[in-house]
């Protein structure tokens, strides 16, 4: 099952935790694996943070990046192929549950892309 959560709410983590943000929380011991092929590009994040695009624009662009990376990064496709069979896992980044966040975009994209993947919770 797929879950998403903030680094700062470990009680929302289920199964294997994966960092899907470019940055690592300061002062936190690493308790997760990294999946760099799921990170949004620096350029995309900078444009969003600078206000050059709204969250809808971020979603559109990030989904496009995921589609291209899936085809161009063999490790990405391998991970996708095994995602549904790995049991519970959680995609982590910084934002609080009520804030707009790329991890939920990613979670919805994964559910659409891997039909056998089941939803736990998108927080």
pLDDT on residue 23: 87
What is the C-alpha to C-alpha distance for residues 105 and 59, in angstroms, rounded to an integer?
6
Q: What confidence category does residue 25 fall into, taking pLDDT thresholds of 50, 70 and 90?
A: confident
Task: Report pLDDT digits (tens) over 102-113.
Answer: 999 999 999 999
Q: Indicate the domain borders of the chain.
A: 2-122
b/e per residue 53-70 (b: at least 16 CB within 10 A): eeeeebbebbbebbeebb
- The whole-chain average pLDDT of the chain stands at 94
Indicate the SS3 state at residue 93.
strand
Token pair 């990170």 in the structure block, residue: 39
């Amino acid at each position: 099952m797929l879950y998403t959560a903030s680094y700062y709410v470990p009680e929302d983590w289920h199964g294997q935790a994966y960092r899907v943000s470019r940055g690592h929380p300061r002062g936190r011991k690493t308790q997760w694996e990294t999946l760099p092929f799921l990170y949004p590009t620096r350029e995309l994040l900078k444009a969003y943070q600078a206000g050059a695009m709204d969250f809808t624009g971020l979603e559109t662009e990030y989904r496009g990046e995921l589609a291209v990376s899936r085809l161009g990064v063999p490790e990405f496709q391998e991970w996708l192929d095994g995602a549904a069979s790995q049991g519970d896992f959680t995609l982590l980044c910084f934002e609080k549950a009520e804030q707009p966040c790329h991890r939920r975009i990613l979670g919805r994209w994964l559910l659409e892309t891997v039909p056998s993947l089941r939803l736990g919770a998108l927080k």
